[in-house]
Structure 1
């Protein structure tokens, strides 16, 4: 996952009929069937891959492999995912794939509402030839533990980022964490990201810069995932994320701070 991770609607329109490209719609089945979808897209509803395994937010490896194989996706497929919520649910699909060893991953800039303004839509599900998906986890994972986050609090060149809403952050957050609500980088009019320079400026204003080790946390995996994807798009080389909850953080006798981000 690199700076090409986010692709435009024009890019998708030009590549969606490529036999090695599979477009994944992560909305509910009723939306995919009833409202329509990008022509040729397969449906993998968010609830089909959210948590449920021994690793918190990740689905069991076997279930994940079966889910993708049934939709004609193997580990070499170019995957482009989208939703209708500014990409936050689709980002979780992509990060799950990344954690299970998939490399060629892309997020549609914008969402289905943005796509349908100027591009063709369809209601027919494509005919899919099932395949076998092989999970091969990467040697280096961005997932970190409570202990890793605690160590980052004292790391001179690290910044911890809370991706929740400001009110949630104010109620309690990991000490030294800065707050960056994932929606700050979204353009409500286009439904996609603000331009690269503007997004980079938003992160920089919080002290989140490329030379730092960035550690993300939240209380929902999808919000962490969206920010993670955006940082990779910006070229940040060292981004980690903690998927445990603040309840787990407190249960481990770790401290919390309260107050607004600008206090």
Structure 2
């Protein structure tokens, strides 16, 4: 298990001066409700683009502008959070990974968990613009349409991270359904215990010895699942960035109640 990918509020409180904290909530939440002291704001809608490099990625030039405006360097140790159980923050971190950022972490339990125990502020964080360098990732989990289609005929576990009703309407042939929110404890807002996670995943045949292929609609929800699987030590996790948006556009096969 790689416990360092997901960090606790306690860990962040002890190491806040050593990391770059990124809040991906809307600006009005960051400014009006408050944020972790020293955090910079990179709202979720700023790093999403249907006209990006791959699927929903924002494009290298736009990503560079965002990082430089936020004062983030390519070698900074990032800790990201939102107030939605980490799903938007995870999308930020996977985007950073795909643009070559190598030190990234998700705050377990999101802003609400932090706010229960630690101070927040509405004061603006002073930011000195940086010079950010997009790099090739050391290894990329991205897979394309053809790779996913070929995986349908292998022993790979195709995982649909959407809600059950979405899955029932239409899903990739042979895919198992795992709503990403099943991995989260509603009360603590953080991840379920490792034992609970491993049992839940094993019940769906999602085990670390198998190749896992993740998809949803637009690659947001699979970002959270990807981070969780990496946290648990899974090594063969494919990330289908195009997800069902591209799959449907390209006429990929589907199974489900609304599939003719």
Q: TM-score, normalised by structure 1?
A: 0.93
2:218–2:244 CA contact under 8 A, matched in 1: no
| 1:247 to 1:5, Cα distance in 2 relative to 1, 3 A | closer
**1:257 is aligned to 2:220:** no
Q: Secondary structure at the match of 2:80?
A: strand
Partner of 2:199: 201
2:100–2:134 CA contact under 8 A, matched in 1: yes
Partner of 1:161: 159
Structure 1 spans left out of the alignment, 5+ residues: none
Partner of 1:67: 66
Partner of 1:35: 33
Partner of 1:124: 123
1:3–1:232 CA contact under 8 A, matched in 2: no
Structure 1 position 258, deviation (Å) = 1.2
Structure 1 position 56, deviation (Å) = 2.2
Structure 1 position 174, deviation (Å) = 0.3
Deviations, residues 88-136 of structure 1 (Å, cap 9, x unaligned): 0000000000000011000000011111111111111221221111001
1:26–1:83 CA contact under 8 A, matched in 2: yes
Q: Secondary structure at the match of 1:202?
A: helix
Q: Secondary structure at the match of 1:240?
A: strand
Alpha-carbon distance in structure 1 between the residues aligned to 2:7 and 2:28: 26
| 1:56 to 1:248, Cα distance in 2 relative to 1, 3 A | closer
Q: Over aligned residue pairs, what C-alpha RMSD do you find?
A: 1.5
Partner of 2:5: 5
Alpha-carbon distance in structure 2 between the residues aligned to 1:61 and 1:256: 32
Deviations, residues 146-170 of structure 1 (Å, cap 9, x unaligned): 11111111112x1000000000000
Structure 1 position 13, deviation (Å) = 0.3
Q: Secondary structure at the match of 1:161?
A: strand
Structure 1 position 245, deviation (Å) = 4.1
Deviations, residues 63-92 of structure 1 (Å, cap 9, x unaligned): 111211222211110000000000000000
Q: 2:190 aligns with which of 192, 209, 232?
A: 192
Structure 1 position 235, deviation (Å) = 0.3
Partner of 1:100: 99
Count of residue pairs brought into register by the alignment: 256
Q: TM-score, normalised by structure 2?
A: 0.94
